[in-house]
Amino acid sequence: MPNLDQIDRRLLAELQAEGRITNVELAQRVGLTAPPCLRRVRALEEEGVIKGYHAELDALMLGYAITVFALVSLKSQAEDSLRQFEEHMRDLPEVRECHMLNGEIDFILKIVSKDLQSFQEFLTSKLTPAPNVASVKTSLTIRTSKKLPGVPLEGA
């Protein structure tokens, strides 16, 4: 497990908020010079604390107008059945996130589609008829009020 000090946490907070900040700028913000700062970042990448970097895109501008959350219950909760469902979700590009939950609902999915029509098409031809699916309850996103990456790290 990684031993993270206060500086590491601040590096991570900065990079989570601004992933393409230059190393010099990053070093200044946390009070280091460039070389040790870069060494720390590389180490955090190696250890897997930093799993990657991603551009955040405007879905609507790219023609993806629909975000839906789907609450899925399966007929069988045997580990094999769960794995099979997860495999299936991995193959569907509209499914951006799939989380296994406790309680009555087995999975929650975040689904992104171009429009209502393509979402309905996806729902009825891909998701609902998937093996072992008992019920699917979907809710359309009216608006996204808040969307922050990752973890709090506020008092980092």
Selected range binding a second copy among 31-39, 127-135, 147-155, rule: CB under 8 A: 147-155
Nearest approach, Cβ of 59 to DNA (angstroms)?
24
Stretch that binds a second copy, among 1-9, 28-36, 123-131 (CB under 8 A): 1-9
The two three-digit tokens of residue 150, written as one number: 């990752």
Q: Which does 129 bind (CB under 5 to 8 A by kind): DNA, a second copy, none?
A: none
Distance CA 12, CA 37 (A): 11
Neighbouring C-beta atoms of residue 106, cutoff 10 Å: 23
Q: How far is residue 29's CA from residue 73's CA, in Å, rounded to a whole number?
A: 47
CB of 2 to a second copy, least distance (A): 6
Q: Which does 25 bind (CB under 5 to 8 A by kind): a second copy, DNA, none?
A: DNA
d(CA 79, CA 31) in angstroms, rounded, equals 48
Element (H, E) at 71: strand 66-74
Interface residues for a second copy in 108-127 (CB under 8 A)?
108, 112
3-state class (DSSP) for residue 60: helix
Which of the choices a second copy, DNA, none does residue 141 contact, using the CB cut-off of 5 to 8 A by kind?
Answer: a second copy
